[in-house]
Structure 1
Amino acid sequence: MVFLNILTFGLWSKLGRLTHYAFDAVLFSAFLAGMKRSTGLTPSFKTDKASGENKEMAKWIDKYLGVGEWVMDQSIAVAASSGWFERKR
């Protein structure tokens, strides 16, 4: 493994770190989506305030929050089809 690490200039550890950060970002986005659904609370910043005049940044922020919504939808679908969860109202 050390030889492989030397051959790839340590890219495996960098790839692992990047994967970890990406997973954490998606998890945080899903947390925000769950908070929005259960309480109605959303992040108070407006995308135009956070991005300024940069419309590309506003699009990326909306996509980031949309990923959390998608992950939340998929998680609910998997849990609903599983026998481990039941709906109580």
Structure 2
Amino acid sequence: MTLIGKAVHFSIDLTLLSVCLAGVKRNTGLTPKLETIEDSHVRKYALKYLNLGESCYDYTVAYLGSSQYFARK
């Protein structure tokens, strides 16, 4: 596997992890305590990372909600 392939695979894995964290937040209200991160730059990028998961989660729910293969119960 090439270096680019590994980078793409790693970034997709990180995005899926962020989506899982967004799902946990939506279903349980549990979220990481970002205020415990002392470095403001790391805190800012952690927030952006979690927001990416929220956006992907919202997009996926909207897409699946309009699909004929899924129904709300």
Q: Which runs of 5+ in 2 are unaligned?
A: none
Distance 1:57 1:17 in 2: 24
Q: Structure 1 residue 25 and structure 2 residue 14: aligned?
A: yes
What's 2:57 paired with?
72
Following superposition, the deviation at residue 48 of structure 1 comes to 3.5
TM-score normalised by the chain length of structure 2: 0.91
What's 1:4 paired with?
none
Q: Structure 1 residue 82 and structure 2 residue 57: aligned?
A: no
Following superposition, the deviation at residue 40 of structure 1 comes to 1.4
Q: Which runs of 5+ in 1 are unaligned?
A: 1-11
What is the root-mean-square deviation in Å for CA atoms of aligned residues?
1.3
Structure 2 counterpart of 1:16, one-letter code: G
Which among 43, 46, 52 is matched to residue 61 of structure 1?
46
TM-score normalised by the chain length of structure 1: 0.76
Larger radius of gyration: 1
Following superposition, the deviation at residue 36 of structure 1 comes to 0.8
Following superposition, the deviation at residue 74 of structure 1 comes to 0.3
**Between the two proteins, what is the percent identity of the paired residues?**
40
